[in-house]
Structure 1
């Protein structure tokens, strides 16, 4: 019998500042590659996070995952950690890691992955702007 998989989604928002910069590069090279995103005074985004969890529906609860529990994980692990923060200066995760949308999505994935059942598939979609977003991991 084929298992029935269902995906559930939870959205969240956080606002954060960052600067894209490679310390080993010259100022000119950083500006050439990152342009305005290399502003030494930082710049911010209103990030929209979409967390997708896929798994079998529990026969008793009817849930793939209790969305209240997922929301609590997102609030505690992501929003409380990153909202209204300077990612470069205020977070351990980005002290040495360039806070690109790609890297932020990977970090968010790892933080949430550690808190949910390993039988569930997880995917992160992070909107940096209305038109720019990343997904991790990539669907196969």
Structure 2
């Protein structure tokens, strides 16, 4: 049987400050601009998750939508929604850029999905900026 794909979108609000301890204060200001604000800033992120795999012969699905919702809710939304990403242990050793948020969400979900394989995670930071991670 051929593979199929199921995608779903989720929303979360979080803040972050883009700042690298390995750069000087001036280099941080030049590199991150207004995103280096000491008080941080926030985004209303849209997280898109795409799961692929064989269609289950009994259910006709790659993954049950409610199962995916539960996994994303517990693993991603409860962890990151309405938080400052800088204080999450997963970002203690990396700058919480949206690229790194995208990679981190992918890694968190990879081990948590009971069916199908995670194809990619896409994070929209603004109406103009989005980031996508395929793993590997």
TM band (smaller chain): over 0.9
Task: Show the counterpart of 1:54.
Answer: 52
Displacement over 6 Å in runs of 4+: none
2:101 paired with 1:101: no
- Alignment length (residue pairs): 136
* Cα distance in 2, alignment partners of residues 78 and 43 from structure 1: 20
C-alpha distance in 2, partners of 1:26/1:135?
29
Q: How does 1:19-58 map to 2 (within 5 A)?
A: 19-58=17-56
Shift of 1:97: 1.1
**Pair 1:115-2:123 in alignment:** no
SS in 1 for 2:56: coil
> How far did 1:135 drift?
0.7
Q: Provide the alpha-carbon RMSD of the alignment.
A: 1.6
| TM-score when normalising by structure 1 | 0.91
2:10 pairs, out of 6, 9, 12, with 12
Q: TM-score, normalised by structure 2?
A: 0.94
Secondary structure at the aligned position of 2:89 is classed as coil
